[in-house]
Structure 1
């Protein structure tokens, strides 16, 4: 699933369409709404694709704020802090094998994931955690990137208002 963001009255090709899958969109929208609450208030449903969005003036105002904060390093500082927070998240117990490293449900038995992992072939063991019983924290699935912000700022500047679909 993703968020398709369409410009309402694009003044350049870059303003016609912006897309993020849900993994990238969630942190971008969270950054925007927490960092610029006054500028993003015109769009209530940032986390859904029901057609909400901003008008042209609000889009340009948000683009101006993003460009200013990209230039000042504020977005980079946020990205660095976000990465540090993700890095500090502990691994989780694997939900497919309940931390045993062996997947004993019907799928696990059918495909041999219920047997210990063979270090020579790499086969066996739970397919969700490679037989370790631990998985990377789910929160690490949501990246945040300065370049994604830069691309969204360019879209905003030229979209003529937008709808999240």
Structure 2
């Protein structure tokens, strides 16, 4: 099952894969539980979502977490859990610009994961500030 995150007014989409959507939803719920509680079904595509005011508030909370470094702490902790579960995504372990893909040294895995998570959160923040609310379809 995939997810389409759609601007409620314009039908513009926030392009995101299933892995990153679940991770963004988890992080959003962790950082802003009172705001995200308005959406009951973050992990299904039944049309639930946030209105414009809630989306903008979530964007502001997420931006604060980037500014104060909480996102880095969260990402490092999540990376540790993924390592223990042996479920670190391939993009972290391999340099896809080489063919065949070259395995990266272990010390680069965590930094790559943290950078990717921060990047995805920043993309989501931009979407939240620009949207008129969103639906998860």
Deviation at 1:52, TM superposition (A): 0.5
1:27 aligns with 2:23: yes
Partner of 1:39: 35
Unmatched 5+ stretches in structure 2: 91-112
Q: Map of 1:6-25 to 2, 5 A cutoff? A: 6-9=6-9, 16-25=12-21
Q: Map of 1:11-160 to 2, 5 A cutoff? A: 16-89=12-85, 137=86, 139-141=87-89, 145-160=117-132
Separation in structure 2 between the aligned mates of residue 49 and residue 19 of structure 1, nearest angstrom: 14
Separation in structure 2 between the aligned mates of residue 9 and residue 71 of structure 1, nearest angstrom: 29
1:109-159: per-residue Cα shift (whole Å, max 9, x none)? xxxxxxxxxxxxxxxxxxxxxxxxxxxx3x434977111111011100111
Decide whether the 8 Å contact of 2:31 with 2:61 is kept in 1.
Answer: no
Decide whether the 8 Å contact of 2:58 with 2:128 is kept in 1.
Answer: yes
Separation in structure 2 between the aligned mates of residue 158 and residue 24 of structure 1, nearest angstrom: 20
Partner of 1:130: none
The TM-score, its normalising length taken from structure 2, stands at: 0.74
Q: Which of the pair is proportionally richer in helix?
A: 2
The structure that has the greater radius of gyration is 1
Aligned length, in residue pairs: 113
**Secondary structure, aligned partner of 2:6:** strand
The TM-score, its normalising length taken from structure 1, stands at: 0.62
Unmatched 5+ stretches in structure 1: 90-136
